[in-house]
Amino acid sequence: MDNRSHIREFLTSRRARITPQQAGLPTYGTRRVPGLRRAEVAQLAGVSVEYYSRLERGDLAGVSDHVLDALARALRLDDAERTHLEDLARAAGPGPRRRRRPIPQKVRPSVQWLLDSMTGAPAFVMNGRGDILGTNALGRALYAPMFDAARGATPNHARFIFLDARSHLFWGDWERAADDTVALLHAEAGRDPYDKALTDLVGELSTRSEDFRARWARHDVRQHHLGAKPFHHPAVGDLHLTYESMDLAADGLTLVAYGAEPGSDSEDKLRLLASWAATLDHADDDMPAQTEQSQEEGPPHTRHG
**Residue 294, pLDDT above cutoff 70:** no
Which of 117-131, 174-188, 268-282 has the lowest average pLDDT? 268-282
Question: Exposed (0-12), middle (13-18) or buried (19+): which is 8, by Cβ within 10 Å?
Answer: middle
CA 59 to chain centre: 26
The H-assigned helical ranges of 34-143 are 38-45, 49-56, 65-74, 79-91, 109-117, 137-142
| pLDDT band at residue 302 under the 50/70/90 scheme | very low
**Residue 172, pLDDT above cutoff 50:** yes
Cα–Cα distance, 57 to 11 (Å, whole number): 9
Q: 55 with 71: CB under 8 angstroms?
A: yes
pTM reported for the whole predicted model: 0.80
Domains defined for the chain, CATH in brackets: 3-91 (1.10.260.40), 109-286 (3.30.450.180)
pLDDT at 277 (0 to 100): 85
What three-state secondary structure class fits 27? coil
62 forms beta bridges with none
Closest CA to 26 of 39, 14, 45: 39
Q: Which range, 213-217, 220-224, 290-294, has the best average confidence (pLDDT)?
A: 213-217
pLDDT digits (tens, 9 = 90+) for 107-143: 999 999 999 999 999 999 999 999 999 999 999 999 9
pLDDT digits (tens, 9 = 90+) for 69-120: 999 999 999 999 999 999 999 888 765 445 556 677 789 999 999 999 999 9
Residue 63: C-alpha distances to residues 71, 93, 100, 268 (Å):
11, 8, 21, 53
275 forms beta bridges with none
Cα–Cα distance, 42 to 49 (Å, whole number): 5
Question: Exposed (0-12), middle (13-18) or buried (19+): which is 282, by Cβ within 10 Å?
Answer: exposed
pLDDT at 287 (0 to 100): 41
